[in-house]
Amino acid sequence: MQEQSDTQLLRDYAEHGHEAAFREIVCRHADVVYASALRQAGSPDLACDIAQSVFTDLARKAQSLVGTLTGDASLLGWLYRSTRFAALNQLRDARRRQTRERLAMRQLDPASGTATEWERVQPVLDDAMADLSDEDREALLLRFFKNRDFRTIGVDLGISDDAAQKRVSRALERLRTGLTSRGVTTTAGALSALLVAETVSFAPAGMAATLSTAALAGTILATTATATATKAIAMTTLQKTIVTAAIAVLAGVGVYEGRQASQLRARITALEQQPTPLPASSSDAALAALQGKLDLLAAQNAELTSKLAQVNADKTRLEAEREQAKRAAALYRELLQQANSKDANPTNDYPTARHVWAAFGRMGRLMAMSKRDDSKLSPEEKSALEAAKAKALENLPNLVKAAKQYDAAKSADLQSDELMDQVACLLYGALNLDEQQFNQVYGVMEKIGQEAKQKGISKETPAPEAAEAIKQIMEQWKAETQTLLTPEQARIFAEVATHIKVEPGNFAFNFNF
């Protein structure tokens, strides 16, 4: 069953009063709204207040807003703008005070004045986002705040994959220009990596349900009663108290239940040790009641323990993904700097084994392009292709020599990170990946590499078992990587991938023109 769009859900709520539809909107966008509010407010409590205000406003304006939306339009842009306005209204004075306090602290402690890249970008990011056009802002929100690939973005915006990629690139450059005008200088590549690593924050557990309930309750009160200013302030305070109390209850429930279980066990022990026993029927009933409570508390404690384990697992996963994104960004910059180098010294063409594999990838690209139907190429394209092949053949001896030198110096078994870096460099050269795609392709390899480790594939694995397992992993890798590429890149990748041979601890690549 196809998922309903934001417009359909909002119309369902506005015209028929279906609260489940409104709750689905809140669950779908609560993370982005909370993350944006948290980034601007710097306080989880204020972020919760801002998020509640935004969704309450959405519920109140649902009927008028439905008339302005067309087709399957998304509410993401409207919610982002509303979060921006709400944050500005609440935090203008607070931000000025905090800025003065930070400047004072930096004067007292000069060492604290060295800000990280994110600390420089974060205070002005939403200002710069607010200056973008609706189309540019929507593209960046889907790409970085929702972590969508270009194919999904194209479907959401009603454009092709290539057009979605170009729109995101243009919007990213305009955002970089906006940051520069605010005193934050960076490159488009560095900004892309920073947004991938830092912009996504998850709303606290249960917050979506709390927001939807509060928003719907606020709408009902507004339409059924005439509230004085004092009553409105009291209701806002009450809602804040409910949210705070819910968070406090979630944090303290484990401690409370642990204490309750301990007290109940002590009571059972005391009953068992009493010198004058109760009548048999009364004692048995009391013990049965206490045991029932203990069983209930044990079940609740097990559930909380499971949820805590899941939270810890999610935290570990997010930390690993952040480290993987940083590693991929550093590798991309290394390859890009070498590609842009004006050093004409031939001995500097392949300073590391990574650059050798990027050069092999470019050879693979020429191989794939050579297998296209010549009748579909213009004379100029044919001439350029032949010139590129001639240049590649001219450089081939130096490339082979460098490859042999690095191969002789490497360890017998490649570590998984080194193997993954080499495959990533090969694809960088073959597909002309931009930084966003490179990060995503690297992430797919990281995920599949972890799955291979869990399956215990190594040099000690019997050959038939290892071959079958590697075949399955390669098919999964190809399928997931294809979704991240443009049609032309996907065609080249399909050809290049057939020439990659992977074994436990090693991989090889062959090509021919």
User: In this predicted model, what pLDDT tens digit does every residue of 2-59 receive, in sequence order?
Assistant: 678 888 888 889 888 889 989 999 998 999 999 988 888 888 888 888 999 899 989 9
Structure tokens at 37: 């509010």
The pLDDT of residue 383 is 86
* Alpha-helical runs (H) found in 109-160: 117-130, 134-140, 150-157
According to the model, what pLDDT value does residue 67 have?
82
pLDDT of residue 207: 61
Query: Which pLDDT value is given to residue 293?
Result: 87
pLDDT of residue 111: 41
The reported pLDDT for the residue numbered 382 is 82
- Per-residue confidence (pLDDT) for residue 154, from 0 to 100: 86
The one-letter code for the residue type at 263 is Q
Residues 6+ apart with CB under 8 A from 163: 154
Q: Which residues pair with 501 in a beta bridge?
A: 508
Pick out the chain residues at pLDDT < 50.
108-114, 220-258, 275-280, 342-346
d(CA 180, CA 173): 10
Structural Rg of the chain based on CA atoms: 30
Q: Contact 193/325 with Cβ under 8 angstroms?
A: yes
Within 274-348, residue ranges assigned H as helices are 280-339
Token digits for 164?
């979605």
